[in-house]
Chain A
Amino acid sequence: MWIYEKKLQYPVRVSKCDPRMAKYLIEQYGGADGELAAALRYLNQRYTIPGKVIGLLNDIGTEELAHLEMIATMVYKLTKDATVEQLKEAGLGDHYVDHDRALFYHNAAGVPWTAAYIQAKGDPIADLYEDIAAEEKARATYQWLIDMTDDVDLQDGLKFLREREIVHSLRFREAVEILKAEREAQKIF
């Protein structure tokens, strides 16, 4: 069961209409290392991960849904006042003919999201290593996105998201150590 809370995890502000930046940001909405992939990956892996780290996957997966909403808010705010001409100039003509200004789960190049982006191996170390890699890849993407804009309001939200990737990566690394310690403990006797 999930309960929706009518607020963002962190304020999202943009200082101008910028459909080109929205086109890039959609990478973190429906891209391989985006927030949708992250949320679905962890919330799916949690069923078969050892009990000691289920809580962590459950909670990080839930936080990713809040990040998905922040990215969506950025894209929405950056495009809502754009004219069709501006969308075309920003390279969003292809998007416009299929979706108007609606959001859709695809990456910056327009490739639709696929479950092939994520894995659930059933092997806890393999799953957690994938999760750590996913967080590091998302962190890198957020850095490239921050580098692509001079909008300090937008940068502020992106920097928050970048820092969350770092914390999640750290927590997943701790989860690996917890499982290794548990495995070692079982070997005694």
Chain B
Amino acid sequence: MQKTPDEQYYKMLHELQAVDFVLVELNLYLDTHPQDVQAIQQYNQFAQARAQMAAQFEAAYGPLLHFGHSYSQAPWQWIEEPWPWQV
């Protein structure tokens, strides 16, 4: 069972959102600057850190992704609230 949102939930979620923001920014930048090797390196570094943070978040609060991109415990965790607009 996943835990209901507590202080830790918001902290972990916020940290994930912060790293994901860096990744979105780097992604769009690279879409128009595909030769920038340093930015690609940074993108790959953050992608790796992101995977770890997402795994920790999911272990505590359930799957972030559907369609086979996250694992589930029983009962099926995907449909458990809260949805993003409920927190």
Contacts and interface: CB of A to CB of B under 8 A. Distances in A.
A50 to B, nearest CB: 13
B28 A59 contact: yes
Interface in B45-87: 62-67, 69, 78, 83-85
Contacts of A7: 13, 16-17, 64, 84
Contacts of B27: 59
A32 interface: no
Nearest to B85: A73
Contacts of B24: 9, 63
A178 interface: yes
A3 B67 CA distance: 7
Contact of B32 (A69, A76, A171): A171
Interface string A1-39: 001111111111000000000000000000000000000
Q: Contact size class for A?
A: 20 to 34
Q: Contact size class for B?
A: 20 to 34
Given A5-B65, A6-B63, A11-B14, A73 B84 contact: yes
A10 B21 contact: yes
Contacts, number: 64
* Secondary structure class of chain B's binding surface, majority of residues: helix
A124 B28 CA distance: 19
A175 interface: yes
A95 B65 CA distance: 33
A146 interface: no
A72 B85 contact: yes
Given A3-B67, A9-B17, A9-B24, 20 more contacts: A4-B65, A4-B66, A5-B65, A6-B62, A7-B13, A9-B21, A11-B13, A11-B17, A12-B85, A53-B31, A56-B28, A56-B31, A56-B32, A59-B31, A60-B28, A63-B28, A69-B84, A76-B85, A167-B28, A168-B28
- 9 closest pairs, A vs B, by CB? A73-B85, A174-B32, A56-B31, A8-B84, A55-B31, A6-B64, A76-B85, A171-B28, A7-B84
26 contacts: A4-B66, A5-B65, A6-B64, A6-B78, A7-B16, A8-B17, A9-B20, A9-B24, A11-B17, A53-B31, A56-B28, A56-B31, A56-B32, A60-B28, A63-B24, A69-B84, A69-B85, A72-B85, A73-B84, A73-B85, A77-B85, A167-B25, A168-B28, A171-B28, A174-B32, A175-B32
